[in-house]
Structure 1
Amino acid sequence: MQSAARLFFTSTHYSVAGASSVPSKFGHRIFAWYLSQNLPAIPLNPTCSSITVRRNEFETVASPSLLKDPKNTSLSVVTPPSVTAKLLREAKSAGVKAVWLQPGSFGQEEMQYARKAFPGAAIGGFDDGTVGGEGWCVLVDGETYMSGNKDGKL
C-alpha cells in the first residue's frame, strides 16, 4: 500500500467521486483536503452539476470517462460499495491512473477488483502502514505520502 500511496500522488490531476456540498459528508471533507493541499481536484458526482466548498462553486463531472486527463488522474472514492463497483469499472475503462478507496466505500469484492484492475495503484483497507483506525484514508495518510517521504513517516 505504501508504494501505491506514493504512486497515487505522482498524478497531475485528482478527482473525488462522491464529492458533496454538505460539510458533514466525507466527500466534502476529502475534496476540501485536496484544495487545502493545493492539488488540482475535480469533483465527480452524477447527481448534481456543481458543488460548493469553502464558499466556492466547482463544476462536477458525472463519470470518470468525462475527466479531461484520466491517464494522469488519481481518483479518491467516497461512494457506497454498490456504487464503487460500477465506478471502478468506469475508471479502469477511462484509464484512471490510481484509486484510493476511502473507508466505507468498499467491501471485499470491490477491493479485490481494485487491486486487480489497478495493480500497484489501489489504496484501501488496513494493509501495510496506515495509521488510521478505520483503514487507509487520505485525510489521515495522504500528507505523509504526498510529500514523497520514502519510509511513510513524517
Structure 2
Amino acid sequence: MVACRAATPTPSLPLVNTQADIDAFLAGAPHAVVGASTDRTKYGNKVLRCYQQTARPVHVVHPREREIEGVSCVASIADLPAGVHGLSIITPPAVTEQVVQAALAKGIRHLWMQPGAESAKAIELARAAGLNVIAGGPCLLVVLRFRE
C-alpha cells in the first residue's frame, strides 16, 4: 500500500468528509484527475493509476501533456466531456481554488481534494455551492488500497 503525503488531517483545515461523502464520490463515474503527472513517483500519477488499477473510468486534465499512463489528456476542466461525476484534485492549494471554480462552471458536483491540495477558501467555496467535498482527511490511494 502507498502512504499519502499527509496521513492525518491538516490541522488548519476543517475536516469536511464522512464515509457517506466518500461513498457518494465513489458511487458515480467517470472521474477526472486534475494534477496528474507523467512522473510515476508523484501522487498525481499514482491517483491516476489507482483509478486504472480498480477499473474505474477516468479522464485526465493536464494543460500541456497529450497522454499520461495511456489516457488522453484534455487541457482544462471545461474540455472534459459532459457527465464527469467527480474530480480528484492533486494541485497546489491556490490552483485548487481555481479548480473549484471550473468544476462549478462545468457542473461537476463531487470533489476529492487529496492531502496537500486543500485550501480553506476552496473548501468553503465548494461547500457553499452545495458540492460534495472530501478534504482534510483520507487519501484516495488509501481508501481504494492502491498498490504499486
Q: Same fold (TM over 0.5)?
A: yes
Gaps of 5+ in 2: 1-16
Gaps of 5+ in 1: 126-134, 144-154
Q: TM-score, normalised by structure 2?
A: 0.80
Match status 1:66 vs 2:79: yes
Match of 2:11 in 1: none
Match status 1:76 vs 2:91: no
Q: TM-score, normalised by structure 1?
A: 0.77
Calculate percent identity across the aligned residue pairs: 30
Give, in angstroms, the shift of residue 118 of structure 1: 3.8
The amino acid across from 2:82 in the alignment is: D
Match for residue 114 of structure 1 among 121, 126, 137: 126
Match status 1:17 vs 2:34: yes
Deviating above 4 A after TM superposition, structure 1's stretches of 4 or more consecutive aligned residues are: none
- Aligned runs of 1:5-154 on 2, under 5 Å? 5-51=22-68, 53=69, 57-70=70-83, 72-119=84-131, 121-125=132-136, 135-142=137-144
- Partner secondary structure for residue 71 of structure 2: strand
Kept in 2: contact 1:79–1:105 (CA 8 A): yes
Match of 1:146 in 2: none
Number of matched residues?
128
